[in-house]
A and B are shown apart, each in its own frame.
Chain A
Amino acid sequence: MNVSLNEVEATAKRATRGAGYSWGLAEEAAKATRWLCAHGQNGTGALAQLLQLDLASAPQTHAPSDLNGEWQSENQLCPLVTGALLSDFAQRLNSSPIEIRNIAVPALLLPFAANAARLLKTCVCVEYDHALAETDGYDLSLGTPFPDRAHQVSVHLGGQLTAPTPHQTRAEPDPTDWAVLNRFAHRTYAPATEESRLRGAGAGLSDND
């Protein structure tokens, strides 16, 4: 199906919240998914894949435990938590690369690297095990497709946008992924009850005057 980027963002936000993340991280996931779609990447697929891993049920075990040195945890890292951290710590890239070990759905790191690039007004390189992506925050250039999981990621300044991907104004989510996101989103909706129907909106049901 063909959806607007606003729909991608709204659905991603609800889905991420429905999967148990905080509202603030749900906002990050929404912007990140939209950014990927706007750059022709399968953002909805990446988010659907991540949410099904259920990392939010034990968040601290999927967050970097120590920020000195390599970012890692006893389990695979969550790319939303790690990505937000990367964006928050963008200034660190001015002094050294950020090394990340064992991270799920690494495609979701890219929009956060793009945040860093815009903040620092420079190009940022994201090197995956055997892949490379570069972004200046506005454009994205990448070689091979993203792996589902990366053992080692290095984020550093530099690179050049040799062949930026075309920008997209719409997204075409895979129907299965879209259904997954909507299933998670549904968890944020209160069940319909007669009481809620009559009280909650503060309006009657008839408009015949």
Chain B
Amino acid sequence: MNKTGTDIPRRDPEQVMRLSRLGSLHQCRLSFMRQLTRRLVRENWTFTRPIFAIDDNGVGYAVYTAQGPERVYSLVAFAHDLSPEQRSDRVIAEAWDATFALFDGIPTEQDIQRLSQNVPLQEAGRVSESELSLSRANRSVRLWKHVVDRLAVGQQPDLEQIHKVGYLMRTTAVYGSGKFGAADREKIANRPELNAPFQAEMLSVYLTRTFVRDLVQHMARTKGGVQTADLDPEIAQWLGIGNSTGLGMAPFIVNHPVLFNNWIMAREEALARVRSLQSASEDEARHFLEIFDRSKLSMSWWRSEHPVQIEKLASLNADLAAITSYLDQKDLTQDDPWDRLIRWSETALGEEGQELLASLVLEPYGDLVDGLTGCMADGNAQVQVINGGMTVDQLRTAIHDRFGWALHMDWSAEANCARAWYVSEEKLEPRLGERFEEPIAEYEQPLAPARDAALAYADLENWQDDRSIAEFLLRHPEHRHTIRRAQIGLVAPYGELRDNTISAGVMPIDMLRAKLSFFGATHFDPRSDRWVRICMYAGAPYPEDLNAKTADLWVYPELSQ
């Protein structure tokens, strides 16, 4: 990543990579959904619905295609009639209201026939190299019923209810990258439209949203007949797609240190560039103020019943008031305006408010920061190969630089290692257990880099400084994954969490939110310490409304005139 004209350095990983801060991240210009919608407009993609074969019971299938400059992609959607007792968002569920595959091209009848026998089974089925993602969704029972019932009697749904829930269906997994037989990431990584992270998955969810809107209209018409109202596009716009995310996403950011580093570093570099501006034009200042006001409106719709998030929202609301008052008093055009704002936020706001500002100040500067989206993929496979020529001393330094805080902790103390991450034989669901209460320790996954770093460091202390790490690893193969991480850390400064992932107090939802914020998710609603619901694409234009005006800022609701 080239540094261009930044006097203000990127923030220190020590500050950024704490779980509480990562658990306070917000979407920004670099988010994957916004990258996608900008591209769809810039490249003039076209969308069609060649098949919509859903019966009166809501059972059948539909195909939605997206045609880009070089290639076409199709969402193949299957709608099912699900009984309430089968409706679960856990990995261990076995049936869903709707199931999907993103097909690479336009599926033939034979493809659809093949997919119809596999996609509804999800993990128990098999897809092929022609499929780029596999996903499923369940209805939000409360909102689905409300919308169908209202439309069927010729009325529009209540917008307040829509804002309260945010979506008609929520996905409970979107699998890509070769899972269950789908195409590997390598197949698509060199396509410009899918090079940035998770673009296939984001496209799949985007098309899913259109399908769900069409399906609810279809079901309302089936119920209401001729008196059925057409869903008002202004209201439909506020229907996003929910996502219910469990623990599987937390290991992802530990298992992909280079990729995660690239996301964080891109945002930190963007922030550093904006902070380095000595002045801002009246237009840029005005744009920021408008986005801030629109953001406040979106925040006002954010609800959660989880005590931790309730507290965070209270803090965020206090921060919003403080920011408003700051912006009323201070000029944003002179004297390093953005750096001043960020410095002030660090003294006056909580982490929710600080990270909101860190995202929002990027908004007026697309020309300055959007190019960083090209740095967010992980194309560096070679970094996984250990450099055995490095000396013991160099490795000790590398570990100390990242895990100095962890090296002298008592890792046998129960509070410091109370938890263990494991995979259940039950549909391979990722879980987090209590090491001292459940028989899970022998199944522990390597998801405690800080503890493992401390263990490796202790053994390294008994070795001579100038011995090669290759010799050490021959005698200590148990530290091999830790030595690899330490070397990766040398090229990925933001790749490592600076917190204990197995402590009694760890909040896995912080890891989930960090990842989901880069997708561009909003309205994080934790349901427990390890399970969160979010909203995607609420406010976004549907394919027929995609244009230069709607492509990017849809995440911020327009203020009513």
Contact = CB atoms under 8 A, between A and B. Distances in A.
B168 to A, nearest CB: 13
A203 B90 contact: yes
A163 B443 CA distance: 44
B181 A24 contact: no
B470 A88 contact: yes
Contact of A201 (B386, B429, B473): B429
B431 interface: yes
Given A87-B386, A201-B246, A4 B424 contact: no
A205 interface: yes
Interface string B219-251: 000000000000000000000000010110000
A12 interface: no
A203 B471 contact: no
B140 A188 contact: no
A84 interface: yes
Contacts of A89: 388, 468, 470
Interface stretch (A98-106, A124-132, A139-147, A192-200): A192-200
B181 A190 contact: no
A103 B11 CA distance: 50
A3 B181 contact: yes
Nearest to A200: B431
B61 to A, nearest CB: 22
A67 interface: yes
A169 B140 contact: no
Contact of A5 (B138, B186, B474): B186
Nearest to B433: A200
B385 interface: yes
Given A203-B531, A209-B140, A24 B480 contact: yes
A90 B88 CA distance: 51
Interface stretch (B63-71, B147-155, B522-530): B522-530
B181 A7 contact: yes
B129 A4 contact: yes
Nearest to B385: A115
Interface string A158-194: 0000000000011000000000000000101111110
Contacts of A87: 385-386, 388
A85 interface: yes
A22 B476 CA distance: 9
B89 A207 contact: yes
B178 A207 contact: no
A148 B149 CA distance: 68
B438 A195 contact: yes
Interface in B242-286: 244, 246-247
A4 B182 contact: yes
A23 B433 contact: no
A207 B88 contact: yes
A203 B246 CA distance: 8
Interface in B115-165: 126, 128-129, 138, 140-142
Interface in B440-487: 440, 443, 446, 468-471, 473-474, 477-484
B481 A27 contact: yes
A17 B473 CA distance: 17
Nearest to B180: A7
Contacts of B185: 6
A190 B440 contact: yes
> Which DSSP category, helix, strand, loop or mixed, fits chain B's interface?
mixed
A136 interface: no
B431 A24 contact: no
Contact of B530 (A193, A202, A208): A202
B14 interface: no
A170 B129 contact: yes
Interface in B180-209: 180-187
The residue in B128, B388, B483, B484 that gathers the most chain A C-beta atoms within 10 A of its C-beta is B388
B531 A189 contact: no
Contacts of B527: 202-204
B443 A190 contact: yes
Given A4-B129, A5-B178, A202-B432, A188 B423 contact: yes
A123 B88 CA distance: 53
B431 A190 contact: yes
Given A6-B179, A31-B384, A170-B129, A192 B424 contact: yes
Contact of B480 (A22, A63, A91, A169): A22
A91 B389 contact: yes
Interface string B65-104: 0000000000000000000110111111100000000000
Interface string A9-31: 00000000000011111011001
A81 interface: yes
A209 B385 contact: no
A96 to B, nearest CB: 15
Nearest to A21: B477
Nearest to A26: B481
A202 B92 contact: no
A64 interface: yes
Given A88-B473, A201-B429, A5 B184 contact: yes
A191 B433 CA distance: 13
A23 B481 contact: yes
B91 A201 contact: yes
B123 to A, nearest CB: 12
A57 to B, nearest CB: 14
Nearest to A88: B388
A202 B480 contact: no
A149 interface: no
B181 A202 contact: no
B217 interface: no
Nearest to A118: B382
Nearest to B93: A207
Contact of B443 (A23, A85, A119, A189): A189
A209 B142 contact: yes
A2 interface: yes
Nearest to B483: A24
B426 interface: yes
A169 B186 contact: yes
Contacts of B433: 190, 196, 199-200
A22 B474 contact: no
Interface in B400-441: 422-426, 428-434, 438-440
A207 B470 contact: no
A7 B179 CA distance: 7
Given A115-B385, A190-B433, 6 more contacts: A22-B479, A119-B387, A170-B129, A201-B91, A207-B89, A209-B140
26 contacts: A2-B181, A4-B181, A5-B184, A6-B179, A6-B185, A24-B473, A24-B481, A25-B477, A27-B481, A63-B474, A85-B473, A89-B468, A115-B385, A169-B186, A169-B187, A186-B425, A189-B422, A190-B423, A190-B425, A190-B440, A191-B425, A192-B425, A203-B89, A203-B244, A207-B138, A208-B141
Interface of B: 84-85, 87-93, 126, 128-129, 138, 140-142, 172, 177-187, 244, 246-247, 382, 384-389, 422-426, 428-434, 438-440, 443, 446, 468-471, 473-474, 477-484, 508, 527-531
